[in-house]
Amino acid sequence: MRGVQTTKSRIRTKIFTEIAKLAFEGWDQRKFENLPYQIIPGEMAQYRDSVFVERAVVAERLRAAMGLSLRTFSSYSPADTGVDASLIDEKYYEPPLIDIIKFACNRCAENRVFVTNACQNCLEHPCVDVCPKKAVSIRNGSSHIDESLCIRCGLCANACSYGAIVHQQRPCAQACGMKAITSDEYGRACIDHDKCVSCGMCLVSCPFGAIIDKSQIFQTVTALKSDVPVYAAIAPAFAGQFGNVTLGQIRTAFRALGFADVADVSIGADLCTVEEAKDFLREVPEEHPFMATSCCPAWSSMAKKLYPEFSSCISMALTPMVLTGRLLKREHPGCKVVFVGPCAAKKLEASRRSIRSDIDFVLTFEEFASILEAKEIDISACADDGSDAGSCGDGRGFAVSGGVAKAVTNVIARMDPDREVLTARAESLPDCRKMLQMAKAGKYNGYLLEGMACPGGCVAGAGVIVPAKKSSAAVVKNSESAQNACALDSDYLHYLNIIEEGRFAEP
């Protein structure tokens, strides 16, 4: 569950923290090999059938935290196999970014409908009447479902006033808007990586902790220990993630870890806003029937995979992460940039060859919090250096659903006051898919479409620390505190001239 402390999240945090400590102290093979016993102490199992399985799962999670792929268990290989390739400060994410630890999978039923003992044998029996296949009948004073006739539509479950009929679906597959999760020959979940867009919703939805994503914690810390200056670019969704703290306190904490400085990605969001507004005014409807926003990589990847005919309808504007990374690298030649945010899909975006020179590492808030824990740094106790992001309110609002569309329409209203802009938005990939289906049917001609892979927006990403509702309120508050609201008032707009020329010249 996003933003809720559970056994799964506590184990993940422990693993990330231990890898961070290992990076700060220096690689030690024996310490790494002992970590499963340190994280799962004793002789008795606590979470699974066997303590040996628990430690084997932790070992695979440790590998993923090092940026390594899962092992194949058809033959023996040590837990640190291939680790030499990760003991560097320039390792990029290698596919697959998200994968399943097969022996940790619970083999959940893919899709089934069944009657529980809560059935009251009511007079109405709506479950019988709504079933399109006549699979539901009354037997021995209770509803009964004929599995051979049932099509798992769930109508009977929806009709039951007592909730006595359950429509059960595999959590990871139900959360996957790409329908990329199926079952292997043993009934275990498996991911079709050609379909996966690395949104991470399966990862947070699996209650058994069987799904992992790779991390660059070790590589980031290794870079911090080097002579190369490392800058952080923190996503607008940071508001509320580390408590009621200011950007000045966050900047102090980053510097305590060894970062040279911190840039607020809201600055890049302001620039992205202006670029998308220009794209919309120039292209809709003259060149394209509608325009879709570009800032969510999982959403744009989904659109291109499922509706390639709409690829040209997605704004060509660079994402806020990339824009901020380019600004930092222009101002500080030779530096490394770490994006810290709520999103697993940003890891996939940063691994693209066209972006690798802009963003060196991507960490989620969850992963970054573990680095702070490893160094025993409490942001709330850090001094406030009094700094401000320098970004506009609309850019700071990118993190919540509707924020991107609002920012773009505000800019268009200033650029062309007579232009009416209709907008539609979707949050979660299943809803994004429906929105694109509507667009294909011509229902959104002339519209600006905002897609967000996570329900609620970036504040509900796979790597957040606090619940989305709480974070959304903090993001709105942070947005309202900005000196300027509209992105056209950004002090960084002069960089767009360089962007439009297709270069980032050295200063």
420 contact partners, CB below 8 Å, separation of at least 6: none
Predicted confidence at residue 1, as pLDDT, reads 56
Q: What is the mean pLDDT of residues 380-392?
A: 90
Question: Got the DSSP string for 12-44?
Answer: HHHHHHHHHHHHHH---HHHHHHHHHHHS-SSS
- The string of pLDDT tens digits covering residues 237-268 is 999 999 999 999 999 999 999 999 999 999 99
Check pLDDT > 60 for residue 502: no
* Side-chain half-sphere exposure of 64, counting CA atoms within 13 A: 24
Gap between the Cα atoms of 462 and 3, Å rounded = 9
Predicted confidence at residue 87, as pLDDT, reads 85
- The string of pLDDT tens digits covering residues 318-345 is 999 999 999 999 999 999 999 999 999 9
- Do the strands 142-145 and 165-169 form a parallel or antiparallel pair, or are they unpaired? unpaired
| Residue ranges in 133-205 assigned as alpha helix (H) | 155-159, 171-175, 201-205
Check pLDDT > 80 for residue 372: yes
Q: pLDDT: is 177 or 86 the higher one?
A: 177
Predicted confidence at residue 146, as pLDDT, reads 96
Predicted confidence at residue 354, as pLDDT, reads 80
Tokens linked to 470: 């709480």
Check pLDDT > 70 for residue 98: yes
Lowest mean pLDDT among 131-135, 352-356, 366-370, 429-433: 352-356
**What's the pLDDT band for 507 if we cut at 50, 70, 90?**
very low
55 contact partners, CB below 8 Å, separation of at least 6: 36, 37, 39, 40
**What's the pLDDT band for 498 if we cut at 50, 70, 90?**
low
Predicted confidence at residue 352, as pLDDT, reads 86
Predicted confidence at residue 92, as pLDDT, reads 76
Q: What is the mean pLDDT of the chain?
A: 93
409 contact partners, CB below 8 Å, separation of at least 6: 421, 423, 448
Predicted confidence at residue 506, as pLDDT, reads 37
Predicted confidence at residue 88, as pLDDT, reads 80
Distance of CA 21 to the CA centre of its chain: 25
Gap between the Cα atoms of 163 and 167, Å rounded = 10
**What's the pLDDT band for 503 if we cut at 50, 70, 90?**
very low
Gap between the Cα atoms of 315 and 284, Å rounded = 11
Q: What is the mean pLDDT of residues 307-318?
A: 94
User: Which sequence spans correspond to the domains of the chain?
Assistant: 1-71+80-107+176-507, 111-169
- The string of pLDDT tens digits covering residues 414-426 is 999 999 999 999 9
Predicted confidence at residue 94, as pLDDT, reads 82
**What's the pLDDT band for 505 if we cut at 50, 70, 90?**
very low
Predicted confidence at residue 495, as pLDDT, reads 82
**What's the pLDDT band for 499 if we cut at 50, 70, 90?**
low
Gap between the Cα atoms of 66 and 23, Å rounded = 10
Topology classification of domain 111-169 = Alpha-Beta Plaits (3.30.70)
**Nearest to residue 115, comparing CAs of 150, 66, 164, 186?**
164
Predicted confidence at residue 3, as pLDDT, reads 64
Say which amino acid occupies 10.
R
**What's the pLDDT band for 437 if we cut at 50, 70, 90?**
very high
Q: Tell me what percent of the residues of the chain surpass a pLDDT of 90.
A: 89
User: How many CB atoms lie under 10 A from the CB of residue 289?
Assistant: 16
417 contact partners, CB below 8 Å, separation of at least 6: none
- The string of pLDDT tens digits covering residues 202-227 is 999 999 999 999 999 999 999 999 99
Check pLDDT > 90 for residue 355: no
